[in-house]
């Protein structure tokens, strides 16, 4: 079943901002280290996982490949493309994702690795109970535009967007 996610705002993130927040996440995770390795949740967690791995000097990186959101910002059935089974339910491992949104993807990952520490750069209210550490909270109705999803282009001033929506 596919459903609209209800996004009305956009929050563009630059490469520099993502890198800065990835390093901030690593700083927060320092007190929990050392970790046996990192599990990157693909695809969004790949870049943050690389940043955290560098900053914490972690060389063992695994992936969980999972799909819930579609390109058109709708939520569909969760499709686990590549699961991961670590001994002790992932005890001592760090899961990294770019964002915890509704918590749907995170719940599936948590079921596979219930004892791992789950970290994300961004978190939304509906998904925050699934994540142990995050950097920035964003409202539920906001679609985060990650650097790999955007290109430079002209945008109208906010006041013009507001006027055209109210007409």
- The catalytic site residues sit at 97-98, 101
> Which parts are annotated binding residues for GMP?
101-105, 143-144
d(CA 167, CA 136) in angstroms, rounded, equals 33
- How far from the centroid of its chain's Cα atoms is residue 24's Cα? 14
Indicate the annotated binding residues: 43-44, 97-105, 143-144
Where does 8-103 have alpha helices with state H? 15-29, 46-56
Helix residue ranges per DSSP H, the chain: 15-29, 46-56, 104-112, 158-166
Please enumerate, by residue number, every residue annotated as part of a binding site for xanthine: 101, 144
């Amino acid at each position: 079943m596919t459903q609209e996610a209800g996004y009305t705002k956009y929050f563009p993130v630059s490469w520099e901002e993502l890198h800065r927040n990835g390093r901030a996440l690593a700083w927060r995770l320092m007190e929990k280290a050392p970790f046996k390795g990192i599990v990157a949740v693909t695809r969004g967690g790949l870049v943050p996982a690389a940043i955290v791995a560098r900053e914490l000097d972690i060389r063992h990186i695994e992936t969980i490949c999972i799909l819930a959101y579609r390109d058109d910002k709708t939520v569909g059935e969760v499709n686990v493309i590549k699961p991961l089974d670590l001994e002790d339910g992932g005890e001592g491992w760090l899961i990294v994702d770019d964002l915890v949104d509704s918590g749907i993807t995170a719940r599936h990952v948590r079921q596979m690795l219930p004892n791992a520490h789950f970290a994300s750069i961004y978190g939304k209210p509906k998904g925050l109970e699934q994540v142990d550490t995050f950097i920035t909270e964003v409202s539920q109705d906001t679609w985060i535009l990650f650097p790999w999803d955007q290109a430079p282009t002209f945008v109208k001033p906010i006041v013009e967007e507001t006027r055209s929506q109210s007409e």
